[in-house]
Structure 1
Amino acid sequence: MAKRGSRRRAQANRKPAKQPLSGWRLWFRRLIIGGVLAGVLAVVFVGLAVVFAASSLPTYQELKATQTAQTIIVRARDGSEIVELGPSFGEWLDSGEIPDVMKEAMIAVEDRRYKSHFGVDPIGLARAVYVAATGNGRIAGTSTITQQLARNVFLNSNRTLDRKLREAVLAMALESKFSKEQILELYLNKVYFGGGAYGIDSASRKFFSHPATELSTAEAAIIAGLVKAPSRYSPTADVQAAVDRAQVVLRLMKEQERISPDVTVDLSAVKLKEERGQNSVRYFTDWALPQLDLLLPETFEPIEVWTTLDVGMQRAASASIKSNTPDGAQGALVSLDRDGAILAMVGGTDYVETNYNRASDAMRQPGSAWKLFVYLAALEAGYTPEDRVVDAPVTIDGWSPKNSNGKFSGEINVRTAFAYSKNTVAAQLGNEVGFGTVASMARRFGISTPISTFPAMVLGSSETRVIDMTRAFAGVSAGGRSVEPYGIVKVTTASGETLYQHKSARGSRLVPEYVAAGMTDLMQTAVNTGTGKAAQIGRPVAGKTGTTSSNKDGWFIGFSSGITTGVWMGRDDAKRVAGLQGGRAPARAFAAYMRYAVKDRPIEKFNTELKLPEWQLEPDEEFYFGDPEDYYYIDEQGNLIEPGGPDGPRDPAFPIDGEQGRPGAAPARQTPGGDGPPAASDDFLERATGERNRSAPPPTPPNPAAEASPDSEDPG
């Protein structure tokens, strides 16, 4: 009985066995344990990642020395700075040199718990997650100063989870390796403030014209406010936006007791640096600076590029284009010195509105300005400005060009035909010398775009560039020698080492000097009395107008006192523009610019004296052919003629004078390109070639008394 009782008491004292967990309780327990394990693993993983990242980080001195891109200072021909491109880093300021108010302003607006977190701000992150959960679902404003530094130095700005995780790891690595003062020093010297300015010293110099060591509280607030959105809050872009943002910074500084609540800051007293006009200059730098890839060895150090650009001429060029270009149209200008140095380049009426460079990139029909090459070919073939040509209806391979006024002037000289831009004469000359010859002449003078050899090409149907046409006219100004446009004189490093130096070279001979002199004669007349009268500037000017069909393009290109300038105007969509004839708006823009461009240069008279070669000086026949009574001789066709005079043996194909012509006379000259007549009379043909064509009657001018009209320029 005693044993039985003790057994009962033992059973009574025994606790009932716990029932195993099941259902949701089991899964909740597993979730907690899994979460704890995952958290531990995550901490271990992050810790290892931070240790590994910290061990691979550059040293502090290496971080100070790194730059994100190359700085390029562009200088004008007088050495003055015209634009700074790429990042500007200013002077590196040690932590002790940075004003305390600048540090406090940056911490107040970007990372109020900067001095207490470990690179990532858990409180700020939790708050951002809460705002996102109750708001628009987007987590924003979570990056600390250390995270921003990690992103600026090591990462890109992509908004991806992977990038944010790497940013956090790098931030903690930076915090583990460097002190708070070092990190803030790196940040303030590297963060981007807009306008190419990296670091507070560069920003201070850009916006306030003094170093960051002299920053006031108001200026520090403006700079600190730029980090969030440099382009939106830039004081050079929107002063009011910059001031409003600075007010936010000052309020936060007071709320966080970083400055006294009683401090009053007058933001209106801040003096901003005046921005120098850099609008049209960018057309030039956009054209010139890509050439550095070819001129320089690969380098990432800051460089200074010394250019040919004349600041005053550039300003005058921009003003002349803006003030003379018709509404709705665009304008372009290129101005070359006698050696090819680009003095001014304007690619449009407003670079901010459109940075497309119409001076170097646009391809447009040159209209009658193309006649430069037609007349160069004719002068080289033997014509002179005084030779007689006929302005009359003509048809070449089914094409019948007309003068813009619909009239014909009959027999006139070459000079008049060019001055009044007679299309019919240009067509006849082109047909006579050959359209391929005209194309070859254009190639000789630097036209690199495709050239048509159809008859209408003589009136400028082939598209070309403003810079190429200006270069061609500069070749005439240079006496028939080639001119190579260039814009970079030299390139140096910040320490003064020369990396590149332009070497001037004498241009190659393109046409004989007498041909260039004759061409200058024609172009000077075009300005004095012809279609280019609006381009007169009170000193000798030679040039040519150009207008395409329906006034889609207007040109004037000319030179004076060693400066050659080309002007083009038109719409980008090639629609008609009222009053766009080359002799109007483009010629006026040319004159407005050139009056300034040549004001400090001596007046130069043009060389228009025709020092013709011997074959054009018309000596007696014996000089060329000898006397048939004395000896054998070779006629101009290469045939051997026996001696003996009129009674001696002779080749019946070349009858002597008195039968059908003089000894060695060739058949009547035919035009090579079509059924149009030669532009010159038989008298000219006799003088230029020694031929005597008596089988064909001289052409009869349709209206010898007609006068050339000053608006006879080609419209199409």
Structure 2
Amino acid sequence: MWVCVAVAAVVAWYAYDLPDVSQVAQAERRPAVTVLAADGATIQRYGDIHGTTVNAADLPPNLIHAVVATEDRRFFSHFGIDPIGLLRAAFVNFQAGRVVQGGSTITQQLAKNLFLTPDRTMGRKVQEAILAIWLERTYSKNQILTAYLNRVYLGAGTYGVDAASQTYFNKPATQVNLREAAILAGLLKAPSRYSPTTSPERAAERADVVLSAMVDAGYITPDDIKTMRAAPPTPRRKPEGDGDRYFADWVADQVVGFIGKEHDDITVHTTMDRRLQRAAERRLAATLSGAAVAAGAEQGAVVALSPDGAVRALIGGSSYDDSQFNRATQALRQPGSAFKPIVFLAALEAGMTADTLVDDAPIQIKGWRPANFEKGFRGPMPLRDALAHSVNTAAIRVLERTGIDPVRSVARRLGITSPVAKDLSVALGTSEVTLLELAGAYTAFANGGRAVWPYAVTRIEDRAGRVLYQRRGSAGATPVIDPTNLAELNRMLMAVMEYGTGKSAKLDRMAAGKTGTSQDYRDAWFMGFTADYVAGVWLGNDDNQPMKRVTGGGLPARVWRDFMTDAHMGLPARDIPGLNHAPRRPSGPMLVADDPDAGSEAVPPPGPAGPLSDVPLLNQFQRLIQNLTGSDKVEYTYPESN
């Protein structure tokens, strides 16, 4: 009698502090963010995701049996708490010397999820038991199981079996098979540890434990397991591809800037073209698992944009599971010669032309002796060939004559926001940029000279379909490049692919681009464009270790070519816009050579370098031929050294 009185007193004491069960609390959760591709397909979900509320009676028996067999085998017979289960758990824990098994029933777990905090104290366990008994007296077993299965957390931000099934298997919970039911039930023990997307091996091992429990409980037979294993396995599901998550993460980080921190569940519509995304992922993966292995290149990134700045594809690394660092949007790397078009555009704006002669000869500036990739020097050559063959000494002389400040100004106008150094090494691409940043700058070359800001978000809606953000118009519609200078630069960039360092990237249509290789082969780039798309490829290593002579005209150019071939499948060949502007003719011969008065700061604008006799006779003759014929292109031949 006194034991009963004591128990009643304890129950009364903890019952006094119970929450108001007349108002079932809604579980607090993070707002869900669903990111969609341009065609409406789901790319990724973030936050706490709730699927469709499903009645337990409508779920496959195997799913119900898998959950009951592993979580609460006497669920259909106990009154809310399971004394046998409690005694068994206490005995197992005593033997192990630590807590290895719990005795909570499904009803107790539901009571904790509905009404209580996660605190693991004796008081909370008593309240949990009281509420479990109350739930059993108030609701049917089916109602309790329905509430439990629709609220339980199952990893990846999902709550409820339907949300988990959609996330992991791309199907509703009402359609899961025996193997999938075992995986879902296995998640109840440790959702993150046994996730089928991040830990497929552990998920499979845990599913085997669940299946054994189902056999022990009499729900299935060993033959059922044999039949299941003989069937084709459920493919491991990634959210529309491993690389998509780089794109989705980049988009999700921008949401606060559009609608603020306080929001409910939202859907974000983006510019991703899944066909191009698949092509970028496939081409990069093939290279990183193939030729790049022997070349010592472990990482890569690809971006593709429409001429208006819409990001159509973005791959930020070799494996999202291994590293979530986005090498397309976060990695600052030296672009090497891929930065030279910005230098040469500044030179065109300063009065030079593609035919202006620049000296390819040894150069020394305060002890610095920059060299070319190829040995030897060619002597005076036109800017067109200097860019096509990526001649470093010529680029430095062009920058020295043009001035640093004009180059930095051009970079800013084109959307380069990363700091640009104020020294002559900028001509060789030593100032770090991101791949997306540089691709955005190249977009101005492809769209008629309008600077753009790369974008991916087109619309954001709440759960009711109300539009919270809508992109309108085209950002950066103001031209920032003179049409004549743009046409001149684009013809020079086309020469890169016709006979220069980018020959291996040549397409079956008009294209232009530039290779880039940083010092000691630490970075290799190819940036290029057609009338339809702008794309950039980077290869390198996260630890900045040198690759084995990987240049921008090698592996990156081939990845770019293969991807752009896929991207243009079915599209008619079109000319790059703006080429109809006639090139400027220089007023007289000009040789950009060493200027002892020029420094690394702003210098006087270029002018005639001297009388005609200062230019080698061969070049005078070729200039005469050009002026007589009116040809835009003259073949130049130079000796191996001057």
**Aligned counterparts of 1:234 and 1:361: Cα–Cα separation in 2:** 27
Residue 538 of structure 2: SS of its match in structure 1? strand
**Aligned counterparts of 1:241 and 1:269: Cα–Cα separation in 2:** 17
- CA displacement 1:180-225 (0-9 Å, x = unmatched): 5333221111123345543233345556665445667776555434
**Distance apart, 1:671 and its partner CA:** 4.7
Does residue 331 of the first structure (1) align with residue 262 of the second (2)? no
Q: Which of 462, 465, 486 matches 1:516?
A: 486
Counterpart of 2:629?
none
- CA displacement 1:68-104 (0-9 Å, x = unmatched): 3333332221222333444443221245545666545
Report % sequence identity.
34
**Aligned counterparts of 2:482 and 2:160: Cα–Cα separation in 1:** 59
Given that residues 306 and 532 in structure 2 are in contact (C-alpha distance below 8 angstroms), is that contact kept between their aligned partners in structure 1?
yes
Residue 328 of structure 2: SS of its match in structure 1? coil
**Aligned counterparts of 2:520 and 2:211: Cα–Cα separation in 1:** 57
Distance change (3 Å), C-alpha of 1:167 and 1:132: closer
Given that residues 481 and 511 in structure 1 are in contact (C-alpha distance below 8 angstroms), is that contact kept between their aligned partners in structure 2?
yes
Counterpart of 2:102?
141
Distance change (3 Å), C-alpha of 1:75 and 1:176: same
Q: Letter of the aligned partner of 1:512 in structure 2?
A: D
Distance change (3 Å), C-alpha of 1:209 and 1:414: closer
Q: Letter of the aligned partner of 2:534 in structure 1?
A: T
Query: How does the TM-score come out when normalised to structure 2?
Result: 0.83
- CA displacement 1:112-167 (0-9 Å, x = unmatched): 3445656554443343333223223335322221332244456676xx643x6425
**Aligned counterparts of 1:245 and 1:95: Cα–Cα separation in 2:** 23
**Distance apart, 1:453 and its partner CA:** 0.8
Does residue 490 of the first structure (1) align with residue 464 of the second (2)? no
Counterpart of 2:411?
442
Distance change (3 Å), C-alpha of 1:675 and 1:114: closer
Q: Number of residue pairs matched?
A: 603
- CA displacement 1:665-699 (0-9 Å, x = unmatched): xxx9985416999997x6x46xxxxxxx66x9726
Q: Letter of the aligned partner of 1:44 in structure 2?
A: A
Q: Which of 426, 440, 452 matches 2:421?
A: 452
Counterpart of 1:110?
71
**Aligned counterparts of 1:209 and 1:573: Cα–Cα separation in 2:** 37
Counterpart of 2:397?
428
**Distance apart, 1:246 and its partner CA:** 3.5
**Aligned counterparts of 2:223 and 2:382: Cα–Cα separation in 1:** 85
Given that residues 81 and 132 in structure 2 are in contact (C-alpha distance below 8 angstroms), is that contact kept between their aligned partners in structure 1?
no
Given that residues 439 and 527 in structure 2 are in contact (C-alpha distance below 8 angstroms), is that contact kept between their aligned partners in structure 1?
yes
Q: Which of 579, 603, 609 matches 1:608?
A: 579
**Aligned counterparts of 2:34 and 2:117: Cα–Cα separation in 1:** 26
Given that residues 147 and 168 in structure 1 are in contact (C-alpha distance below 8 angstroms), is that contact kept between their aligned partners in structure 2?
no
Counterpart of 2:376?
407
Given that residues 307 and 533 in structure 2 are in contact (C-alpha distance below 8 angstroms), is that contact kept between their aligned partners in structure 1?
yes
**Aligned counterparts of 1:252 and 1:83: Cα–Cα separation in 2:** 38
Distance change (3 Å), C-alpha of 1:167 and 1:521: farther
Counterpart of 1:303?
266
Counterpart of 1:189?
150
Q: Letter of the aligned partner of 1:567 in structure 2?
A: V
Counterpart of 2:388?
419
Does residue 53 of the first structure (1) align with residue 24 of the second (2)? no
**Distance apart, 1:403 and its partner CA:** 1.4
The correspondence of residues 352-431 of structure 1 with structure 2, limited to 5 A, is: 352-431=321-400
Q: Which of 559, 562, 569 matches 1:599?
A: 569
Distance change (3 Å), C-alpha of 1:122 and 1:246: closer
**Aligned counterparts of 2:45 and 2:96: Cα–Cα separation in 1:** 43
Residue 483 of structure 1: SS of its match in structure 2? coil
Counterpart of 2:557?
587
Counterpart of 1:707?
638
Q: Which of 608, 614, 639 matches 1:698?
A: 614
Residue 460 of structure 2: SS of its match in structure 1? strand
Distance change (3 Å), C-alpha of 1:598 and 1:153: farther
**Distance apart, 1:408 and its partner CA:** 1.4
More moved, 176-185 vs 404-413:
176-185
Counterpart of 2:52?
91
Any stretches of 5+ residues in structure 2 without a counterpart? 589-593, 621-635
Counterpart of 2:623?
none
Q: Which of 197, 205, 215 matches 1:241?
A: 205
Does residue 179 of the first structure (1) align with residue 139 of the second (2)? yes
Residue 148 of structure 1: SS of its match in structure 2? helix
More moved, 243-252 vs 588-597:
243-252
Q: Letter of the aligned partner of 1:542 in structure 2?
A: A
- CA displacement 1:629-683 (0-9 Å, x = unmatched): xxxxxxxxxxxxxxxxxxxxxxxxxxxxxxxxxxxxxxx9985416999997x6x
- CA displacement 1:368-401 (0-9 Å, x = unmatched): 1111221011000011111222222233344332
Q: Which of 249, 254, 264 matches 1:291?
A: 254
Distance change (3 Å), C-alpha of 1:121 and 1:609: same
**Aligned counterparts of 2:66 and 2:587: Cα–Cα separation in 1:** 90
Q: Letter of the aligned partner of 1:69 in structure 2?
A: R
**Aligned counterparts of 1:222 and 1:507: Cα–Cα separation in 2:** 52
Any stretches of 5+ residues in structure 1 without a counterpart? 1-32, 620-667, 686-692, 710-716
Counterpart of 1:575?
545
Distance change (3 Å), C-alpha of 1:58 and 1:457: farther
More moved, 121-130 vs 232-241:
232-241
Does residue 673 of the first structure (1) align with residue 593 of the second (2)? no
Given that residues 410 and 703 in structure 1 are in contact (C-alpha distance below 8 angstroms), is that contact kept between their aligned partners in structure 2?
no
More moved, 332-341 vs 131-140:
131-140
Q: Which of 520, 523, 537 matches 1:550?
A: 520
Residue 53 of structure 1: SS of its match in structure 2? coil
Q: Letter of the aligned partner of 1:52 in structure 2?
A: D
**Distance apart, 1:477 and its partner CA:** 1.5
Distance change (3 Å), C-alpha of 1:212 and 1:406: closer
The correspondence of residues 612-623 of structure 1 with structure 2, limited to 5 A, is: none
Given that residues 194 and 226 in structure 1 are in contact (C-alpha distance below 8 angstroms), is that contact kept between their aligned partners in structure 2?
yes
**Distance apart, 1:288 and its partner CA:** 1.0
**Distance apart, 1:470 and its partner CA:** 0.7
Given that residues 494 and 511 in structure 2 are in contact (C-alpha distance below 8 angstroms), is that contact kept between their aligned partners in structure 1?
yes
Given that residues 446 and 531 in structure 2 are in contact (C-alpha distance below 8 angstroms), is that contact kept between their aligned partners in structure 1?
no
- CA displacement 1:264-290 (0-9 Å, x = unmatched): 564336676543542011111111111
Does residue 80 of the first structure (1) align with residue 41 of the second (2)? yes
Distance change (3 Å), C-alpha of 1:40 and 1:708: farther
Given that residues 356 and 586 in structure 2 are in contact (C-alpha distance below 8 angstroms), is that contact kept between their aligned partners in structure 1?
no
Distance change (3 Å), C-alpha of 1:542 and 1:206: closer
Given that residues 69 and 210 in structure 2 are in contact (C-alpha distance below 8 angstroms), is that contact kept between their aligned partners in structure 1?
no
**Distance apart, 1:303 and its partner CA:** 2.8
Given that residues 259 and 468 in structure 2 are in contact (C-alpha distance below 8 angstroms), is that contact kept between their aligned partners in structure 1?
yes
Q: Letter of the aligned partner of 2:571 in structure 1?
A: R
**Aligned counterparts of 1:156 and 1:332: Cα–Cα separation in 2:** 44
**Aligned counterparts of 1:675 and 1:200: Cα–Cα separation in 2:** 65
Given that residues 524 and 539 in structure 2 are in contact (C-alpha distance below 8 angstroms), is that contact kept between their aligned partners in structure 1?
yes
RMSD: 3.7
Distance change (3 Å), C-alpha of 1:106 and 1:575: closer
**Distance apart, 1:531 and its partner CA:** 0.7
Does residue 540 of the first structure (1) align with residue 510 of the second (2)? yes
Query: How does the TM-score come out when normalised to structure 1?
Result: 0.75
**Aligned counterparts of 2:617 and 2:432: Cα–Cα separation in 1:** 34
**Aligned counterparts of 1:442 and 1:87: Cα–Cα separation in 2:** 42
Given that residues 85 and 196 in structure 1 are in contact (C-alpha distance below 8 angstroms), is that contact kept between their aligned partners in structure 2?
yes
Counterpart of 2:217?
253
Distance change (3 Å), C-alpha of 1:552 and 1:101: closer
**Aligned counterparts of 2:181 and 2:603: Cα–Cα separation in 1:** 81
Q: Letter of the aligned partner of 1:172 in structure 2?
A: I
Given that residues 362 and 371 in structure 2 are in contact (C-alpha distance below 8 angstroms), is that contact kept between their aligned partners in structure 1?
yes
**Aligned counterparts of 1:679 and 1:101: Cα–Cα separation in 2:** 80
Counterpart of 2:285?
322
- CA displacement 1:10-49 (0-9 Å, x = unmatched): xxxxxxxxxxxxxxxxxxxxxxx9xx79x96775354243
Between structure 1 and structure 2, the one with the greater Rg is: 1
Counterpart of 1:344?
313
